[in-house]
Amino acid sequence: MTKNGIAGQLLRVNLTTKKITNEQLPLEMFIDYLGGRGLGAFYLDKEVDPKIHGLSPENKLIFFNGPFSGTMVPGNNKINVAFKSPLTNTYSYSLCGGHFGPELKFAGYDGLIIEGKSEEPVYLWIDNDKVEIKSADKLWGQKIADTDHLIKEELNDQKIHVACIGPAGENQVNIACVTSDVFREFGRGGGGAVMGSKNLKAIAVRGSKDVEVADPEGLMELVAGLYPNFKKNPKAQIRRVEGTNELVRGINNAGFMCTKNFSEGTSEANKEFEGSLFREKVVYNDVSCYACPIACGKNSAIVSTKYGAVKLEGPEFETLGLLGTNCGLTNWEDVLHVSAICDALGLDSITAGGCVSLAMECFEKGILTLKDTNGLELSFGNGKAEAELLEMIAYKKGIGADLAEGPAYAAEKWGAPELAMHSKGMTFAVYDPRGAKGMALTYATSPKGAHHMVAPVFGGEMAAGNRFEEKGKETLVRNTQLNFAAVDSLGFCATCQNGFLRADQLKAFKLVTGYELTEEKMLFNAERIFNMERMYNVKNGFARKDDTLPKRFTEEPMAFGESKGQVVDLETLLDNYYAAMGWNNDGVPTEEKLQALGL
């Protein structure tokens, strides 16, 4: 049984030696590092040399829950995995909702570190205190849903939660993800490739232990008081109906929705994907993660003459944008089809979309010819060709093998580096930074490459009516980065922030752990986490030269729409941001800053 929300145990599995050990994990670690993301940064820094290759056996997959996982704290179910990324060569982390994290907690573990490399394909079976490394001979080569199904059948338990890789991960494709419960992903940075490099096909978990909290009555009272907040909150309510695709309308109308490899920021055709039409045309029911009061997840389905029946959970807004509008798709049948392919093969749909759109622009510009593409007509809007290219990426065939290394590698090889829309090797999410200057800073300074959730400030910028201004964005981005370092570590879902304010998060921390965490200490710890992440990259030679954006965003004014004429003044943004962070002008934390943070 856990005490004060914490299981107090870290499970360590060495796939080279097959040694399995339990390590004590005191509550103090959750006070100093808050939880998943913070503990991931701590252990990665301590145990993994920043200079190793991401696919080296010396790399580790460091999974950690936050202290609330498995309790009744609403909207708290995210488990984090930290690793050295084979895609970006940086520190990387990835969060996954659903049920996998809480199930690991029910099995009695706050965290799990996978190290070494098995000689043959294996999967890990965690059944409370019984932990086994089992043969994955029958699983290797299987797609995601089949892997999940076969494991449950072999272990004769449908309630097991499985995190696994598909063919993309097995083939060590740098944009492969780790998927839990068939549709929830540890998406970005290539964690699936790291898992594949270790010959680890899956982690299956079953837990039946209670999670004891310090003050159960107090927690019940707090939670009962929170539920009406979610019902009253308009953002939470629209997400309940339209999912994350409620964002399409606002972002497309504001002219910064990725369209045709970010060559445009809006399109009439994108309106087909507005949340209300998503709900009306393809959604058939709602899905939620563990202890979720909102249920923004959507099951969708479509039957078409082109592809027959397609059924999946999603697509989420970022998947829809990158696989859909950014590749010029204009209808739901194509979008659902390519989303389902990414799910089945275990590809990070955001980066995969960025790779396909790069190839499409190269094809339209004559940089790639039909000979290069093995006859694939890779024009924007060709959903069938997109589907084929995704398969080629996952199985490393033809130009798919180039994209499997990442968009920066492929574009360089094809002689068109300026067409890869990436920062530190990772492609952008939906928001064209020309339409929200804070997002430009978020992308450029993210420790893991161009990921939006490190500081998703676009909503605040739109509400404040200052999205085209560079001035003041250093403070907005800094504060949001620190807030997300905290809430990611604690395990909160971002959508559930709508209705769960910081004061209540701090109350929950006291009621679950018994420890009074002040806002000041929480933010101090968050700043330490963010600086640890930065320093991991600095030790590997990263600096201002790597905090970049493609020339498209800094030199090519947006051609039309509500963000027309905009470019990003990145150097001004960086100067102000580094000063706000207490870093030198090269983007390196100063000695004084590190000392003040106890690093």
Interacting residue ranges for ligand SF4, rule: CB under 6 A: 75, 77, 97, 288-289, 292, 294-297, 493, 495-496
Q: How far is the CB of 275 from ligand SF4 (least distance, A)?
A: 14
- What the block records as the tokens of 357 is 């759109």
Half-sphere exposure of 592 (CA within 13 A, CB side): 5
How far is C-alpha 266 from the chain's CA centre? 24
- What is the Cα–Cα distance from 328 to 314, expressed in whole angstroms? 19
Q: How far is the CB of 238 from ligand SF4 (least distance, A)?
A: 12
Q: How far is the CB of 293 from ligand SF4 (least distance, A)?
A: 7
Cβ nearer to ligand SF4, comparing 55 with 289:
289
- Residue 10 CA: distances (Å) to CA of 6, 104, 105: 11, 11, 10
Cβ nearer to ligand SF4, comparing 78 with 201:
78
Cβ nearer to ligand SF4, comparing 230 with 380:
230
Helix 349-364 vs helix 332-345: crossing angle, to nearest 10: 120
Print burial letters for 238-247: b (CB count within 10 Å at least 16), e (below 16): bbbbbbbbbb
Which has the closest alpha carbon to 150: 171, 174, 128, 121? 121
The DSSP secondary structure of 29-94, one letter per residue, reads HHHHH-SHHHHHHHHHHHHS-TTS-TTSTT--EEEEE-TTTTSS-TTB--EEEEEE-TTTSSEEEE
Cβ nearer to ligand SF4, comparing 318 with 334:
318
The answer to whether the beta carbons of residues 263 and 280 sit under 8 Å apart is no
Cβ nearer to ligand SF4, comparing 65 with 199:
65
Let me know if 280 is exposed, middle or buried by CB neighbors in 10 A (0-12, 13-18, 19+): exposed
Q: How far is the CB of 74 from ligand SF4 (least distance, A)?
A: 8
Q: How far is the CB of 40 from ligand SF4 (least distance, A)?
A: 20
Cβ nearer to ligand SF4, comparing 97 with 435:
97
Q: How far is the CB of 180 from ligand SF4 (least distance, A)?
A: 12
Cβ nearer to ligand SF4, comparing 292 with 352:
292
Q: Which residues pair with 297 in a beta bridge?
A: 287
Q: How many CB atoms lie within 10 A of CB 208?
A: 11
How far is C-alpha 27 from the chain's CA centre? 27
Cβ nearer to ligand SF4, comparing 292 with 511:
292
Which has the closest alpha carbon to 424: 322, 550, 546, 577? 546
Q: How far is the CB of 570 from ligand SF4 (least distance, A)?
A: 31
Q: How far is the CB of 497 from ligand SF4 (least distance, A)?
A: 9
Tell me the helices (H) and strands (E) count for the chain, helix number first: 24, 17
Q: How far is the CB of 5 from ligand SF4 (least distance, A)?
A: 18
Residue matched to tokens 């752990």: 513
Q: For residue 495, what is the DSSP state? A: G
Q: Is the dihedral of CA 543, 547, 550, 552 positive or negative?
A: negative
- What the block records as the tokens of 80 is 């984090």
Cβ nearer to ligand SF4, comparing 314 with 346:
314
Cβ nearer to ligand SF4, comparing 25 with 496:
496
Q: How far is the CB of 77 from ligand SF4 (least distance, A)?
A: 6
* Residues in contact with 487: Cβ distance below 8 Å, sequence separation at least 6, in sequence order: 494, 497, 505
